[in-house]
């Protein structure tokens, strides 16, 4: 898969999650922490805004990285995305299994992004190897 396509998909998925967190932070919080009440719930809702802004920052960066042309830079960026989103996905899986949070949508989304990034990275490595031979 081409890095531009991967980063476009990453941006779209991230934008959806960011908008949902900005527009319905109480819903997202209630879904992930159904037992939260009182000030704890209010604090978690506030945290959703902070997380939404971080996701939006990643979306903006990802969208602007789509047009990078140098193969070496594409390889580094796609490797970074594959590693970073794998860590997030694994963390979500551990938190889900341990019962700390209900994180099925973010786990699926970060897993898809990690797999797409890995596929793009491997494709770029193969292209780089073909170019060298």
Rounded to two decimals, the pTM is: 0.84
Burial (CB count within 10 angstroms: exposed 0-12, middle 13-18, buried 19+), residue 120: buried
- Each residue's pLDDT, cut to its tens digit, for the chain (133 residues) gives 889 999 999 999 999 999 999 999 999 999 989 899 999 999 999 999 999 999 999 999 999 999 998 989 999 999 999 999 999 999 999 999 998 888 899 999 999 999 999 999 999 999 888 777 6
CB-CB neighbours of 114 under 10 Å: 20
What is the number of domains present in the chain? 1
Domain of 89 in residue numbering reads as: 3-132
């Amino acid at each position: 898969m081409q890095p531009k396509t991967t980063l476009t998909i990453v941006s779209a998925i991230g934008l959806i999650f960011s908008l949902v967190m900005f527009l319905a932070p109480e819903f997202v919080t209630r879904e992930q922490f159904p037992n939260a009440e009182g000030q704890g719930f209010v604090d978690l809702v506030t945290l959703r805004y902070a997380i939404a802004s971080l996701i939006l920052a990643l979306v903006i960066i990802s969208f602007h990285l789509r047009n990078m042309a140098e193969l070496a830079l594409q390889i580094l960026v796609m490797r970074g995305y594959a590693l970073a989103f794998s860590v997030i996905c694994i963390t979500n899986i551990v938190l889900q299994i341990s019962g700390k949070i209900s994180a099925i949508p973010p786990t699926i989304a970060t897993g898809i992004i990690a797999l797409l990034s890995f596929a793009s990275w491997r494709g770029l490595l193969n292209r780089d190897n073909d170019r060298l031979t």
